[in-house]
């Protein structure tokens, strides 16, 4: 390995989206437009639902008119009743209401199908975007907050999107038809609504403007609560080991109290809309009853018409009340939709360069020249880093915590983009390679091992799904885990829980190491990968790894310096700079920073 000095190139700093999922209020019109796009993807079902809504509402609205005709047919006196006519109109009423119920049933089936399609598509859009997001996005947001968006917020949106939209359409039809029928009965009585309807509209607009920020705050607090719960569940053993249960409970009570307060406040003001509007509607009904009675006493309107008018007035006022309540629900849906769209709009990894090269057979020649990098602007982490790793070499990276060791390998795999300098693989600038082909030539084993719910065989074969049972067992033997696996009741078919909760940390890491050994990648990265095994086992694994990775380039990050003595070259990193490099014996002879680190660890252990 040699340090190379050459010309440097500048590349813009990668800047992730620093906004919160609820920051920078999104315009309501923009949210509505995007929600409409999800409805528009189900045009056939939407048109069918609209048609059924129109038919169901229209048929049901013939009922009050028929009721008035039946009352007129009864007459004012018992002897004047015309029974066949009364039965005719009541039969038509039963037919109308029965047909309306049938249409309503069909509408519910169509709505359910449309809701299913929408929620599936929205969740798919969110998860598809999550897959493309850079690593630094997940450094800024808690997993619980993201899960809250995928589950709670999307459910909230979809509960409102389909049903509330159709309810508004149905209410519009009901209000329109009811108004036409009331005008046909007695236009003068409709003057009551000239006062009550504008009063309802003004009040609704005022109260919804007050409640939307409250629902946005509620969504944020619920996300914070979910994030804290996810974090504490992951660290429950540490919490108990240090006896911090009381502090955790106090913090939970605080966050839970804030979430409950935000929920209660938003619901309080949200539920005020319905009763307040209902009061105004009842006021209009009382006025209609008084004026209608006066007109009836003067002989200007019949009893049946008054009955029909009162029923239509309730039909007219009822949807206004329902829409007012729906608007309260929509505030919650819009706030949830805002968080969903913030996640969908999060900036993905930068696209590959035009005509990016697909590297299919890497040799493992890695060079870095004058690399500078910082997570935050103005706070450098890597400064003027240069190196040359030749094919087949074992490169160890050593240094104190926070020196930038893990950052270096993240830059090699383009999990983060450098600010200045260049990194090449086999002479190709990695920014001229496709990300997929670059990462396919690496295999990585991290300190935090990751296993998924499934068999041990599937977890090892995750690196190469087409691998045979013999190849998987060979990798497991090299990783010193085969004997343990064969002692399990189901052997390689044993199911392990989420993240391997039913096996030890050491066994989890050995399985992930076996997975890495199975990979055909030409380069290997071990980031504290053997920190949970004893030194003797670690040395055996490294020996097996060296034999398995013959002719391949390996980068090893290790705190225990005694385990990297056989490395071809050791990079000693301090404050983002390579301060020393060479073989173990040479570095010890220099009696520099590496020697002091090694002696300190030797004395410690």
Mean pLDDT of the residues in the chain: 78
Residue in 500, 536, 535, 534 with CA at minimum distance from that of residue 515: 500
Q: Which neighbouring-strand residues pair with 387?
A: 368
Structural tokens at position 69: 């005709």
pLDDT in tens, 424-444: 999 899 999 998 888 888 888
pLDDT in tens, 229-241: 777 776 666 676 6
In contact, 445 and 556? CB cutoff 8 Å: no
Quickly state the pLDDT bin for 535 (edges 50, 70, 90).
low
Q: Which pLDDT belongs to residue 424?
A: 92
The pLDDT > 70 percentage for the chain reads 84
- CA gap 272, 509 in Å, rounded: 56
Residue in 543, 488, 485, 547 with CA at minimum distance from that of residue 510: 485
Quickly state the pLDDT bin for 423 (edges 50, 70, 90).
very high
* Beta-strand runs (E) in 356-465: 366-373, 382-389, 394-398, 420-425, 428-429, 442-446, 454-455
Q: Which pLDDT belongs to residue 253?
A: 85
Does 605 have pLDDT greater than 50?
no
**Section 349-354 average pLDDT:** 84
Q: Which pLDDT belongs to residue 116?
A: 84
Does 563 have pLDDT greater than 90?
no
**Would you call 118 helix, strand, or coil by DSSP?**
helix
The pLDDT > 90 percentage for the chain reads 4
Q: Which pLDDT belongs to residue 544?
A: 63
**Section 305-319 average pLDDT:** 74
Q: Which pLDDT belongs to residue 320?
A: 66
Residue in 594, 550, 591, 545 with CA at minimum distance from that of residue 569: 594
Which of the residue ranges 133-142, 320-329, 488-497 would you say has the lowest mean pLDDT? 320-329
**Section 553-578 average pLDDT:** 80
Q: Is the pTM of this model over 0.85?
A: no
Using CA atoms of 402, 403, 408, 409 in order, give the dihedral in degrees to the nearest 10.
Answer: -50
- CA gap 145, 20 in Å, rounded: 11
Quickly state the pLDDT bin for 548 (edges 50, 70, 90).
low
pLDDT in tens, 451-460: 888 889 998 9
Does 165 have pLDDT greater than 60?
yes
Nearest-Å Rg of the Cα atoms of the chain is 35
Q: Which pLDDT belongs to residue 530?
A: 64
Q: Which pLDDT belongs to residue 13?
A: 36
In contact, 433 and 440? CB cutoff 8 Å: no
Q: Which pLDDT belongs to residue 457?
A: 93
pLDDT in tens, 379-416: 778 888 888 888 888 888 888 877 777 788 888 888 88
- CA gap 528, 397 in Å, rounded: 10
Looking at per-residue confidence, does 341 or 144 come out higher?
341
Question: Domains of the chain by range and CATH?
Answer: 30-344 (1.20.1560.10), 353-441+552-605 (3.40.50.300)
User: How many C-beta atoms lie closer than 10 Å to residue 344's C-beta?
Assistant: 15
* Beta-strand runs (E) in 290-365: none
**Would you call 373 helix, strand, or coil by DSSP?**
strand
First to last CA, the chain: 30
Does 3 have pLDDT greater than 50?
no
Does 539 have pLDDT greater than 80?
no
Q: Which neighbouring-strand residues pair with 578?
A: 573
pLDDT in tens, 11-45: 333 333 334 555 557 777 888 888 888 888 888 88
Looking at per-residue confidence, does 218 or 304 come out higher?
218
pLDDT in tens, 584-596: 888 888 888 888 8
């Amino acid at each position: 390995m040699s340090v190379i000095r050459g010309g440097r190139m500048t590349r813009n700093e990668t800047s992730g989206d620093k906004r919160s999922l609820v920051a920078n209020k999104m315009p309501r019109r923009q949210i509505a437009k995007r929600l409409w796009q999800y409805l528009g993807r189900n045009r056939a079902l939407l048109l069918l639902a609209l048609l059924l809504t129109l038919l169901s509402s229209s048929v049901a609205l013939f009922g009050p008119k028929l009721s008035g005709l039946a009352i007129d047919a009864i007459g004012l006196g018992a002897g004047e009743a015309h029974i066949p006519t009364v039965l005719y109109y009541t039969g038509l009423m039963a037919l109308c209401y029965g047909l309306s119920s049938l249409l309503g049933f069909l509408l519910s089936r169509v709505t359910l199908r449309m809701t299913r399609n929408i929620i599936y598509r929205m969740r798919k859009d969110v998860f598809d975007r999550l897959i493309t997001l850079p690593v630094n996005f997940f450094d800024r947001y808690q997993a619980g907050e993201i899960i809250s968006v995928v589950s709670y917020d999307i459910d909230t949106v979809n509960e409102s999107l389909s049903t509330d939209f159709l309810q508004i359409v149905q209410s519009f039809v009901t209000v329109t038809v009811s108004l036409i029928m009331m005008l046909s009965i007695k236009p003068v009585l409709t003057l009551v609504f000239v006062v009550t309807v504008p009063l309802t509209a003004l009040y609704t607009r005022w109260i919804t403007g007050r409640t939307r920020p409250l629902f946005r705050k509620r969504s944020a607090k619920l996300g914070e609560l979910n994030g804290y719960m996810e974090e504490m569940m992951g660290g429950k053993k540490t919490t108990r080991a240090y006896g911090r249960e009381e502090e955790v409970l106090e913090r939970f009570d605080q966050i839970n109290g804030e979430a409950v307060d935000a929920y209660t406040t938003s619901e309080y003001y949200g539920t005020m809309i319905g009763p307040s509007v209902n009061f105004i509607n009842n006021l209009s009904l009382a006025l209609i009853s008084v004026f209608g009675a006066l007109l009836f006493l003067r002989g200007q309107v019949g009893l049946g018409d008054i009955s029909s008018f009162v029923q239509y007035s309730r039909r007219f006022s009822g949807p206004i009340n329902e829409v007012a309540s729906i608007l309260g629900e929509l505030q919650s849906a819009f706030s949830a939709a805002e968080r969903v769209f913030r996640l969908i709009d999060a900036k993905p990894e930068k696209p590959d360069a035009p005509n990016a090269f697909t590297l299919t057979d890497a040799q493992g020649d890695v060079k870095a020249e004058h690399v500078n990098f910082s997570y935050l602007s103005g706070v450098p982490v890597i400064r003027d880093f240069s190196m040359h790793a030749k094919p087949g070499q074992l490169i160890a990276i050593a240094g104190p915590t926070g020196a930038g060791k893990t950052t270096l390998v993240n830059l090699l795999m383009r999990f983060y983009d450098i600010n200045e300098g260049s990194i090449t693989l086999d002479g190709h600038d990695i920014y001229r390679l496709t990300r997929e082909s670059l990462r396919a030539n690496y295999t990585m084993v991290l300190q935090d091992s990751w296993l998924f719910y499934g068999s041990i065989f599937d977890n090892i074969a995750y690196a190469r799904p087409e691998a045979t049972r013999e190849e998987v067992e060979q990798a497991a033997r090299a990783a010193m885990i085969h004997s343990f696996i064969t002692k399990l009741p189901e052997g390689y078919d044993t199911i392990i829980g989420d993240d391997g909760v039913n096996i030890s940390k050491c066994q989890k890491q050995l399985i992930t190491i076996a997975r890495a050994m199975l990979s055909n990648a030409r380069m290997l990265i071990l980031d504290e990968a053997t920190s949970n095994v004893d030194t003797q086992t670690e040395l055996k694994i490294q020996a097996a790894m060296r034999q398995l990775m013959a002719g391949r380039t390996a980068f090893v990050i290790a705190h225990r310096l005694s385990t990297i003595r056989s490395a071809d070259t050791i990079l000693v990193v301090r404050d983002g700079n390579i301060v020393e490099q060479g073989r173990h014996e040479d570095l010890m002879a220099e009696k520099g920073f590496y020697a002091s680190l090694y002696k300190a660890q030797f004395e410690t252990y």
